[in-house]
Structure 1
């Protein structure tokens, strides 16, 4: 039996880790990357059926070397991000925003370029973006620009790289470690408000989003698509 191989870049927590677990359940041989050795060591104990690699998605040499080590990859999922980039434009720290672009936009493109020679001809690339790309939430111009830039690349990449499939999954409010930089009370209050306002009446889990990522990565008839799985956040004002 032919075992398909998946690489989840940024797979040590949150949506990336949930996706890695679901791909493993689907029978994939799953590899994931993370920058921190401690988290990878923990995953080797908690998830021994996942293979972790210490690598920075923004480091072209490291990702190229990883690709050479892995050989052919059938599904590449890029779930890289930082937690910077938010704030009103009047006093937004543009150096901070440049770091945010490095952490997500440039890291996504670097990973794609480095792994492209290793992708199977019928393989897939799935990016994880965010609803900020298509909404008008105050204070999100910076992260909207990052996610919007990634989403703008999906259609041209899908035609340029065909028959490799290229998609993005766009979540909304998700309870993941991305929010760990916010004070606990502020985070809890925002989640409560979001759950009461969102059409689905809940804040998403990482597993909710991972189901959509796995669909995009494995459905042979889906390409050039931004799959919105935001609980209806784009329909309302949070």
Structure 2
């Protein structure tokens, strides 16, 4: 039996899946939660060592049922997101922004509340925000507020839930399926332009962020911290 058990909610693609793979490589028993049957089937086929569950992290009954079947959890990683929330404040669709908060912020809180009774005393919670929370990029007021709300949970929960550790990871531009709504050529052109503005001169991969997420989840001396892994996006103008 593995020494540690991890649960990655939102773990069927992108950063979540890359994190699940890294945790499994460390020898943990890793459970992955996703909403879409096709993605879950794909993960079951490509990564049979990962244990997949179908549930919505924002649905208390569904996520609680999954957690009950798992039992003890050492490392909880919440990598829930959505494609909505961007746009200039003059044109911002508040109904869209509310859906974005439901999909990410409220789903984070719902999952945390369901999981806390099952976390070990030496366990951890790691939340995925985004650098929009502090970078000052035009056209991101809504999504910045969303990610700021997620990241604002870290410090108070680190104190409230201690000795359980609570941390956040704040990525910048990452080449993941989050961008799948943009045509390939347009996405490549944007990434090429953005990379030139970044100090690192590159767009991150999902595995870059997963590496940091694993540190946040597993390092016994790290709590109440949001780790910025953004290629320096917060340092430059990305507008």
TM-score normalized with structure 2 length: 0.98
Matching of residue 47 in structure 1 with residue 47 in structure 2: yes
Query: What is the CA-CA distance between 1:96 and the residue it aligns to?
Result: 0.4
The match for 1:166 is: 166
The match for 2:77 is: 77
1:1-238 aligned within 5 A = 3-238=3-238
Query: What is the CA-CA distance between 1:2 and the residue it aligns to?
Result: 5.2
CA deviation digits over 1:26-51, x for unaligned, max 9? 11100000001111111111100001
The runs of 4+ residues in structure 1 deviating greater than 4 Å are none
- Give the SS at the match of 1:66: helix
What count of residue pairs does the alignment treat as equivalent? Answer: 238
Query: What is the CA-CA distance between 1:182 and the residue it aligns to?
Result: 1.7
Query: What is the CA-CA distance between 1:185 and the residue it aligns to?
Result: 2.6
- RMSD, aligned α-carbons: 0.9
Separation in 2 of the partners of 1:131 and 1:189?
21
- Give the SS at the match of 2:62: helix
Separation in 1 of the partners of 2:42 and 2:182?
24
Query: What is the CA-CA distance between 1:183 and the residue it aligns to?
Result: 2.5
- Give the SS at the match of 2:49: coil
Separation in 2 of the partners of 1:124 and 1:164?
5
CA contact 2:85–2:142 (8 Å) conserved in 1: yes
Query: What is the CA-CA distance between 1:119 and the residue it aligns to?
Result: 0.5
Unpaired runs of at least 5, structure 1? none
